[in-house]
Amino acid sequence: MPTLRHHDAIAILDFGDGENRFSPDFMAEVHAHLDTAVAEGAAALVTTATGKIYSNGLDLDWLSANGDRAAEYVESVHRLFGRMLTLPMPTAAAIGGHAFGAGAMLAIAHDYRVMRADRGFYCFPEADIRIPFTNGMAALIQAKVPPRTAIAAMTTGRRFGGTDAAAYDLVDAAVGETEVLDTALAMVAPHGGKDQPTMTAIKSVMFDGVLAALRGKD
């Protein structure tokens, strides 16, 4: 399960060493840690994972067993994306392994992304697994990447290694394994300490259309 620690004034949210899929319990833990980071006045937030997977996204096993709650589940996933998108501090995803589907979407909701160059894939597999993007998911991705990247990533199911992900602007940097977390920390450190309500207001205006789509008001 996710855990929270600190590097100086920067909160580090570690998703864990498993697949880090978005079960209801996993998302509740993430929200609880975000609450703590905000309440404690963290200067910035970096998310990472201990194992070879940053996040494999939707918990399809849970969803299959709880099909009557599908709409509620998707709404909760959208809520997590919106929360990360407007968190009142700089955010960076330190991706040391695979980021698939909704896991890649959560990463793209951060302000910055750093990925390991030599291992792991950044991938939106929806075209191959026959799960169309919701309007909110599509709006989130398209707000963060150039049109050519949206086509390459959303319509092909292509698995981008770190170097390719950087070339396509899916991530801001691709570095060695031992440099991923430190690079993410260095990205957010100079920008921390801003007024929280102001940061929330700025991000909410910047991504107003995405937030509307995530709320189903598009």
Q: Residue 87 — pLDDT band, cuts 50, 70, 90?
A: very high
Domain covering 3-215 in this structure, CATH number: 3.90.226.10
Helices 70-85 and 24-39 sit at what angle, rounded to 10 degrees? 30
pLDDT band, very low/low/confident/very high, at 191 (cuts 50, 70, 90):
very high
| pLDDT of 165 strictly over 90 | yes
pLDDT of 24 > 70? The answer is yes
Q: What is the mean pLDDT of residues 42-61?
A: 96
Q: Is the pLDDT of residue 71 over 70?
A: yes
Length of the chain: 218
User: Do the Cβ atoms of 22 and 102 come closer than 8 Å?
Assistant: yes
Work out whether strand 44-48 and strand 159-160 pair parallel, antiparallel, or are unpaired. unpaired
Is 94's pLDDT higher than 50?
yes
Calculate the average pLDDT of the chain.
96
The 3-state secondary structure of the chain reads CCEEEEECCEEEEECCCCCCCECHHHHHHHHHHHHHHHHCCCCEEEEECCCCEEECCECHHHHHHCHHHHHHHHHHHHHHHHHHHCCCCCEEEEECCEEECHHHHHHHCCCEEEEECCCCCEECCHHHHCCCCCHHHHHHHHHHCCHHHHHHHHCCCCEECHHHHHHCCCCCEEECHHHHHHHHHHHHHHHCCCCHHHHHHHHHHHCHHHHHHHCCCC
| pLDDT of 217 over the 80 cut | no
What pLDDT score was predicted for residue 218?
47
